[in-house]
Structure 1
Amino acid sequence: MYTDDRAAGAEHSQTATAVRVWQNLRALVLEQHDRRKDVMDALGMSFARIKALRRLAARPMTLRALAAELAVDAPYATVIVDDLARRGLVERSPHPDDRRAKIVTVTGPGRAAATEAERILGEPPAALLALDAEEAAALDRIVGKLLAHG
């Protein structure tokens, strides 16, 4: 019985640690070092539009596919694409296989804006750069392991 209680206690401790680590990671990335505001200020548009632009820079897609990737409804995806098109960042063209659909493609200025967004979002915070090589390597291994377990 004592062994079962100890195992249950260790499992609870491991779960409590995992919860604490997750809360700290969320606070680190989404609160303390949230780059979304920096990107919105730099590009002068909402993060939803920036997210759409980054997805379209990766590959052209239909409005329906973009809506699915952004987890928004089709009318909202249309609003986003209309605004990006007005800004000259994307363009619509006929879909080669479906007359009812349009393909949305990023333009040269759109690609430049998406690249700038990626640069800002990818810039590590000073606290991460301040880790010594051993700490950075350990964190890299751990994060890699977490990503591999999806």
Structure 2
Amino acid sequence: MTTQTASRAWQAMRSLVLEQHDRRAEVCQALDMSFIKVKALRKLATYGPLTMRELTDMLATDKPYTTLVVDFLEDRGLVERTRHPEDRRCKIVSVTAQGAAEAAKADAIINVPPAPLLALPAQDLAELDRILGTLAGD
């Protein structure tokens, strides 16, 4: 019974976030770019300068595709590539001020709670927050 209940809860969470209240299309439209590019920009804004390898690993893409993503972001003035100070073969990608502003815009859209969550009674919301914190390891 516990496995069935956990499975049902997991399916409900996935559906809530990825289907019923998915904000990815809204973010893509607002920033006029694909979600993988938004994701790369947000990673760089959150974690600071990253090597191309680190960014590739975080995005779970391959090197050529990461290069295309970074090329796009660089062409728009959202990131810049520099040589690694200790390894000239490596490139470091950093977010620009404009890129940080666009990442903040994306975060503002993504982080708006959906209406059903806002409609929960305060006690239920606090309990949900506690449970999710436990699941996240906080």
Fold shared per TM-score above 0.5: yes
Unpaired segments ≥5 residues, structure 1: 1-12
How far apart are residue 101 of structure 1 and its match? 1.2
Structure 1 residues 1-150: aligned runs within 5 Å: 13-58=1-46, 59-148=48-137
**Aligned positions, number:** 137
Distance 2:21 2:12 in 1: 12
The list of structure 1 runs, each at least 4 consecutive aligned residues, that deviate by more than 4 angstroms after superposition, is none
TM normalised by structure 1 equals 0.89
How far apart are residue 102 of structure 1 and its match? 1.3
How far apart are residue 16 of structure 1 and its match? 0.7
Query: What is the aligned-residue RMSD (CA, Å)?
Result: 1.0
**Per-residue displacement from partner, 1:78-124 (whole Å, max 9, x unpaired)?**
00000000111001111100111111111111000000111111110
TM normalised by structure 2 equals 0.96
- Larger Cα-atom Rg: 1
Unpaired segments ≥5 residues, structure 2: none
SS of 2:80's equivalent?
strand
Q: Kindly, what percent of the aligned residue pairs are identical?
A: 56
